[in-house]
Homo-oligomer: A and B are copies of this chain.
Amino acid sequence: MLDVYVSGVGMTLFGKRKESLPELMAEAAHKALQDAGLEEVDAIYIGVMNPEAFIQEGNFASLIADHLQLAGTPAVRIETASSSGAAAFHMAYQAIASGYYKRILVLGGEKMTHLNTTQTTKILAEVIDRSERSCGATMPALAAMLTERYLKEYKISQNTMQKMLALVAIKNHYNGSLNPYAQFQHVLSEKQYLESKVVAFPLKLYDCAPITDGAAAVILTSDKTKVRVAGLGQGTDTLAIRHRTSFTSFRATRLAAFRAYQMARLNPEDIDFAEVHDAFTPFEIIGTEDLGFFPPGKGIKALEKGETHLKGRLPINPSGGLKARGHPVGASGLAQIVEIVWQLRRQVEPPRQLDKARIGLAQSIGGLATNNFVTILERTDLWRTFPANWQGTYPLPTDRALSVRKTNEEIAEEGVIETFTVLYTTPEGFPSPLPLALIKDIKGNWVIARGRSLKHLKIGNRVTLHKVGDSYYFLARTYLDKVNLSLRRILRKWSKSKRYRVLNPFLLKKKKEVKTVGL
């Protein structure tokens, strides 16, 4: 396997841009080509999430090659939801490492701000398991549920957790304020954070990465340069969060990290700084734990002590992260790598430059942590030995998915709230606020259900479940519910009796099953 190096990087200003996506991608591409001193490449690998829905353009790889006036050059589009930029980088790595190509232009980009929030939310929600999105769950809703679970698991008060999330947002906005490519170049105060509206309890507006236009580009080559790709790893997980064993850690990240550390022959403590996928502020905390930087549940302690600050022991998201630099979904995974290359080459304006950094790591998340990538880059002038019997300290993840994907899970009528959220920015056709909960029924099945009331939302509370159409509804079990449940049991029993059949012939007509498209 040949060594792979970065010979050029470039990116556009992230934010609300008036240019078209091909124009933005051309801007990033030309910067990277200029940086590498190239006019042509052997191939173009493009990471983009959904240009068909966002800008009504299919055949996007050909379109970009054509737009770059490189029609003829092989071009492919690679997609793994919000980690598509990182995925394109990994594919290009393999092509260079094989010797099949010598120089590849990797491009990531997305154009999103021209659509309204409802349209964008709908496109982004298509990455979620069909049955989970059918009850109104969005990306922020699922992230919020995991956050509630995190504080329950590690016995953190709601108040402390909110302060920790604020710390992530404030830190990343501070870093972003120093980054001329960031969408938000203003600092954020705790007051501003606390006063911002709740999107999905407990996540506020400032806990969520913004909607952004932008593009990033990297040139990979087999000729030695200052920056080498040391390690790569990818991992996937179940689409449905209800099929997972852990809700406070992402197995896809841990699988990717294990592979990347093994390949690079490095351990988490060797990493000098990292770009972590903070699409939601709790994801940065979970990310730093999954990457082995801090033990599970200790991420918030490290954050509180300032270890992840720009001048801390292990700076996280010196660029401002997705939170402040912005999150054009197809570009983010590649923009992280651009930042790491700039830091390693000492091309960042002080005070943002990390003066001693020699090894940087990027972690990118696709969907709700279903398709994650870890990329480790290092300076080639770093002296390192590669012992033949090197053994890493980072453990191989051994946990498996909770259950196989079932299309017709028979959910019982009673269950317990395992985690919950109240969604305020709801998808079209859903009321706001919308209570949602991940529920484990008495038979051990898991389901995400809609609530009818904001009362009694608490992890551990018992609920009754009932199905309407394809979705489940839950109701916290109060005294009246118990009475109701008993009555319904009696009614059900009676409905099977002969007398009922005679009296209610119409009620027995089976409701025709509605045929759903595709899955």
A73–B234 CA distance with the chains assembled, in angstroms: 8
A54–B76 CA distance with the chains assembled, in angstroms: 20
- Of chain B, the residue at the smallest CB distance from A74 is B234
Whether A519 pairs with B22 at a CB distance below 8 angstroms is yes
Instruction: Tell me which residues across on chain B come within 8 A of A90, comparing CB atoms.
Output: 76
- Of chain B, the residue at the smallest CB distance from A251 is B72
A478 at the interface (CB under 8 A from B): no
- Of chain B, the residue at the smallest CB distance from A68 is B405
- Residue total for A at the interface (Cβ-Cβ under 8 A): 77
A190 at the interface (CB under 8 A from B): no
Instruction: Tell me which residues across on chain B come within 8 A of A69, comparing CB atoms.
Output: 401, 404-405
Q: A76-B87, A235-B72, A239-B66 are in contact. Are A59 and B370 (CB under 8 A)?
A: yes
Instruction: Tell me which residues across on chain B come within 8 A of A519, comparing CB atoms.
Output: 20-22, 55, 57
Instruction: Tell me which residues across on chain B come within 8 A of A20, comparing CB atoms.
Output: 518-519
Q: Interface centre among A67, A74, A127, A235, by most B CB within 10 Å?
A: A74
A111–B123 CA distance with the chains assembled, in angstroms: 20
- Of chain B, the residue at the smallest CB distance from A70 is B236
**A residues 1-32 in Cβ contact with B at 8 Å:** 1-2, 20-22
Min CB distance, A399 to chain B, in Å?
9
- 14 inter-chain pairs at a CB distance below 8 angstroms, sorted by A residue, are A57-B519, A59-B80, A59-B128, A62-B239, A62-B366, A65-B236, A69-B404, A71-B243, A71-B401, A76-B90, A76-B371, A78-B79, A91-B95, A94-B94
Q: Which residues of A contact B (CB under 8 A)?
A: 1-2, 20-22, 43, 49-50, 52-63, 65-67, 69-81, 87, 90-91, 93-95, 97-101, 111, 114, 123, 126-128, 130, 232, 234-240, 243, 251-252, 255, 366-367, 370-371, 400-401, 404-405, 517-519
Task: Name the 9 nearest CB pairs between A and B, nearest first.
Answer: A55-B518, A98-B98, A58-B126, A59-B127, A62-B370, A74-B234, A97-B98, A59-B81, A94-B95
A sample of 15 more A-B contacts (CB under 8 A), given A56-B126, A91-B94, is: A20-B518, A20-B519, A50-B52, A52-B52, A53-B53, A56-B517, A57-B518, A62-B127, A62-B239, A62-B366, A62-B371, A69-B401, A71-B236, A77-B80, A98-B99
